[in-house]
């Protein structure tokens, strides 16, 4: 992603892009690929921006977290391996996530339940946005 052709380079917290080419900061690329694994769609910057903003909305406050994540469930979820790595990166990247987790765990739910709800919601947000794009 060099700047060989003097293209204007933009950088957001999660996305670096030059006009049509873009690269996601870890772990966003991995998370979006994981969430859209079963879908046959092209990932474009418009969808990615919308998905990331909706993901950040999960942790606006405790009430938002519980409302958005209610009833979401990934089958056989275990908070290990890739999820731990992603969670660690997201905790550094999203200040509200760290705050909400601190306020909720273990007072209301345990660590595994927190991340189960969080990653299940992320997957649903990604799928919803890709389906909306496919319908348009």
pLDDT tens, residue by residue, 49-60: 899 999 999 999
Q: What is the mean pLDDT of residues 70-95?
A: 91
pTM here? 0.83
Domain contains 68:
yes
CATH of the domain at 83: 1.10.3970
Tell me the pLDDT tens digit for each residue of 26-37: 999 999 999 988
* Residue 81: domain span: 25-135
Q: What's the pLDDT at 15? A: 58
Residue 41 near residue 134 (C-beta atoms within 8 A): yes
Q: What is the mean pLDDT of residues 4-20?
A: 49
Domain contains 2:
no
Q: What residues contact 136, with CB distance under 8 A and at least 6 apart?
A: none
User: Which tokens hold the place of 42?
Assistant: 């092209």
Q: At what angle do helices 111-135 and 95-104 cross, to 10 degrees?
A: 140
The domain total for the chain is: 1
pLDDT, averaged across the chain? 85
Residue with tokens 């030059």: 18
Q: What's the pLDDT at 67? A: 97
Q: What's the pLDDT at 5? A: 45
Q: What's the pLDDT at 9? A: 41
Domain contains 4:
no
Q: Which burial class, exposed, middle or buried, applies to 8 when counting CB atoms under 10 A from its CB (0-12, 13-18, 19+)?
A: exposed
Q: What's the pLDDT at 63? A: 97
Domain contains 37:
yes
């Amino acid at each position: 992603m060099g700047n060989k052709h003097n293209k204007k380079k933009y950088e957001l917290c999660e996305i670096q892009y030059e006009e049509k080419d873009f690269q996601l900061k870890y772990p966003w690329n991995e998370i979006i690929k994981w969430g859209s694994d079963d879908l046959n769609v092209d990932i474009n910057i418009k969808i990615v921006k919308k998905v990331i903003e909706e993901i950040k909305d999960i942790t606006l406050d405790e009430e938002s977290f519980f409302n958005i994540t209610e009833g979401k469930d990934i089958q056989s979820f275990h908070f290990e391996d890739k999820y731990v790595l992603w969670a660690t990166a997201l905790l550094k990247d999203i200040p509200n996530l760290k705050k909400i987790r601190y306020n909720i765990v273990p007072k209301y739910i345990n660590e595994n339940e927190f991340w189960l709800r969080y990653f299940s919601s992320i997957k649903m947000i990604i799928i919803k946005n890709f389906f909306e794009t496919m319908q348009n």
